[in-house]
């Protein structure tokens, strides 16, 4: 999982693995109005799903629905 120059919170990018610490530092937390769109190879999606659950997001389902807060595609 790589965070490659994503521009968030002030436009500063970063390089390296996407860790729970990086998610917590750079992205909005789990809330009713927060949605995560997640796409990638299965090992990355699985690791990100575990990290997001640890940060309070809903566990991603096998088949995402439009209303899911963590949407896999």
Share of the chain above pLDDT 90, in %: 21
What is the greatest pairwise CA distance in the chain? 34
Whether residue 3 is contained in a domain is answered as no
12 pLDDT more than 70: no
On whether residue 33 sits in a domain, the answer given is yes
Give the count of domains, the chain.
1
Q: Does residue 68 sit within a domain?
A: yes
* Assigned domain for 48 exists: yes
Q: What radius of gyration, in Å, describes the C-alpha atoms of the chain?
A: 12
pLDDT of 37-60, one tens digit each? 888 888 888 889 999 999 999 998
In the predicted structure, residue 65 carries a pLDDT above the cut 80: yes
Q: Compute the average pLDDT of residues 16-39.
A: 86
What average pLDDT does range 6-32 have in this prediction? 75
- The residue range of the domain holding 39 is 28-72
Say what the pTM is.
0.74
Asked whether residue 42 is assigned to any structural domain, the reply reads yes
């Amino acid at each position: 999982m790589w965070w490659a120059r994503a521009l968030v919170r002030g436009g500063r990018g970063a390089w390296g693995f996407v860790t729970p610490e990086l998610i917590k530092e750079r992205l909005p937390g789990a809330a009713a109005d927060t949605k995560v769109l997640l796409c990638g190879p299965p090992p990355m999606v699985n690791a990100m799903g575990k990290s997001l659950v640890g940060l309070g997001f809903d566990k991603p389902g096998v088949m995402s629905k439009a209303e899911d807060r963590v949407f896999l595609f």
